[in-house]
A and B are shown apart, each in its own frame.
Chain A
Amino acid sequence: MIQLTQETKSGWCVVGVSGRADSEAADELEGALRAALELHAKVAANLAALEYISSAGLRAVIQAARAAQAKNAEFAVCSLSAAVQRVFDMSGMHHIMRIHGELPC
C-alpha cells in the first residue's frame, strides 16, 4: 500500500510518499509524480515516510525524472529513510539524479 499527498509550498509542489513503493504501487507513484510535473515547474518528492522501495518503485522515480528533464522542470527527491537510501545507493541512483537530505522549501 502506498499513500500519496500533494501540497504547494514556497513555489514547490511537494508530493508526500508514504508506505510501500513495490511492484503493485509503482504505477500509482509514477502517475502522481507525472501529474504534479504536468502542472508545476518545481516538484519535490518527500520520501521521509516511505518504508520500502523495490526496483519497480525506483523505475517510477526514474521515469518521473525523465519527464521532468523533458519539460525542463526541477525535480527533487528528498528525505530518504536509511532503508530506502540503501536501495538507492545499491542502484546508483545518485548518478542519475540529485538526492536531497531535506526538502528544498
Chain B
Amino acid sequence: MWHNQAILTETEFVLQGRLGELERLTAETAKFCREHSLGDEMEFDLNLVLEELFTNSVRHGGCAGMENAVLVRLQLLDHAVLVEFADRGTPFDPLTAPVPNIEATLEERGVGGLGVHLVRQIMRDLEYRRADGWNRLTMQRPC
C-alpha cells in the first residue's frame, strides 16, 4: 500500500484561450503552493509569471478562442519549482524578444515587453523550444 502514500510533487492543468481562465490559473497556482507549503512570495511569483505568459499567448500569440490552448506543469524539485508553460499559438521565443529599457522616462517608455521582462527577472534557467506545434518554455523559480 506504500504507493498510495507517495507525495505528488507535480500538477498539470489545461487552459482555454480566453482571459477568463486567469481565475483558474490563480486558483491552481495557489493550490499547488498550499499543498507544498511554498509561501506567499513563491505563490505571487508563479502567479505573476504564468499570468504574463498566458496573457501574451491569448492577446498576441494567436491563442484567443482556441480550445485547450495552454498546458501548464508545475513540479517541486529539491531547491526550486520547475515550471513548464506550453501553448499551441504562433511560434514565439520570449527569450529573443526585445528587452524594454526600464530606465526610460515616462515620455520615452514603451508599453510593450514588460511582462516578458518580469518573467526573465524572476525565473532562472529558461529554455525555449518549438516542437509538434507547441511553444514550450521551461524555467525554474528557486525556493
Contacts and interface: CB of A to CB of B under 8 A. Distances in A.
Name the prevailing secondary structure of the B interface residues: helix
Interface string B78-117: 0000000000000000000000001111100101001101
A21 to B, nearest CB: 11
A91 interface: yes
A102 B29 CA distance: 32
A90 B48 CA distance: 12
A62 B52 contact: no
B102 A55 contact: no
B44 A96 contact: no
Given A55-B114, A83-B44, A87-B118, A22 B51 contact: yes
Interface residues of B, number: 27
Contacts of B118: 54-55, 87, 90-91
B41 interface: yes
A24 interface: yes
Contacts of B109: 62, 96
B102 A95 contact: yes
B19 interface: yes
A56 interface: yes
Given A22-B51, A90-B118, A97-B106, A59 B22 contact: no
Interface string A41-71: 0000000000010111011001101100100
Contacts of A96: 104-106, 109
B55 interface: yes
A23 B51 contact: yes
Given A56-B55, A83-B40, A92 B103 contact: yes
B138 interface: no
Contact of B19 (A24, A63, A97): A24
B5 interface: no
9 contacts: A22-B26, A23-B51, A52-B48, A54-B55, A59-B111, A62-B111, A83-B44, A87-B118, A95-B105
Interface of B: 19-20, 22-23, 26, 40-41, 44, 47-48, 51-52, 55, 59, 102-106, 109, 111, 114-115, 117-118, 121-122
Interface of A: 20, 22-24, 52, 54-56, 58-59, 62-63, 65-66, 69, 83, 87, 90-92, 95-97
